[in-house]
Amino acid sequence: MIIDKEAKLFGKINIIDALIVIAVIALVAFGAYQLRSGRGLIGGESREFILTFFTEEIEDWAVEGIRTGDNVFDHLTGLYLGTVESIRIDDSIVWNADQYGNTVRSTKEGFSSMEVRVRVTGTTREHGVYIAGNRYGIGMNRPIRAGGNAVFTRISGLREAGQ
């Protein structure tokens, strides 16, 4: 008999254990195939992108510490993202109520808004770019570290490098 009363295959191996071993081997083989094909575990070819981070209000002294060419890291995960491609600095953006209760845009002295474009390498899927398995998509809030500063930002742009 192939399977006996104790659910052992050929009287030696438990059938459940055998199925688990087969499933693990299949998963390892699939992962190895994905990595060897160059698509990564998420799928897609790795390409270079420009990921734009924006902050509406950052102290001026912190802006001065970030420069083109600085390494950029995800402050939450410590993941290296890429290098600063360009920086655009403008007046800070602060929203307040006026005397009539309307929300109006104004600025705050000693603060600026900042847009940081970072060259990253990742793979794309429907909802953004994946860098080492972490998703980065437009509208996501992400604190980043660059030039020794931690900055709370929102991802405001994503495009393929060279476009």
**Using one digit for the tens of pLDDT, what is the confidence trace for 75-109?**
999 999 999 999 999 999 999 999 999 999 999 99
0.85 surpassed by pTM:
no
Exposed, middle or buried, 120 (CB in 10 Å: 0-12/13-18/19+)?
A: buried
**Using one digit for the tens of pLDDT, what is the confidence trace for 34-43?**
555 444 555 5
pLDDT band for position 46 (50/70/90)? Answer: confident
Mean per-residue pLDDT for 58-63?
90
Q: Is the pLDDT of residue 44 over 50?
A: yes
Spatial separation of the C-alpha atoms in residues 104 and 102, rounded to whole Å? 6
105 residue type, one letter: R
pLDDT for 82 equals: 95
Spatial separation of the C-alpha atoms in residues 138 and 159, rounded to whole Å? 10
**Using one digit for the tens of pLDDT, what is the confidence trace for 105-157?**
999 999 999 999 999 999 887 778 899 888 999 999 999 999 889 999 999 99
Spatial separation of the C-alpha atoms in residues 93 and 106, rounded to whole Å? 6
Spatial separation of the C-alpha atoms in residues 17 and 15, rounded to whole Å? 5
Look up residue 46 and give its two tokens: 């790795």
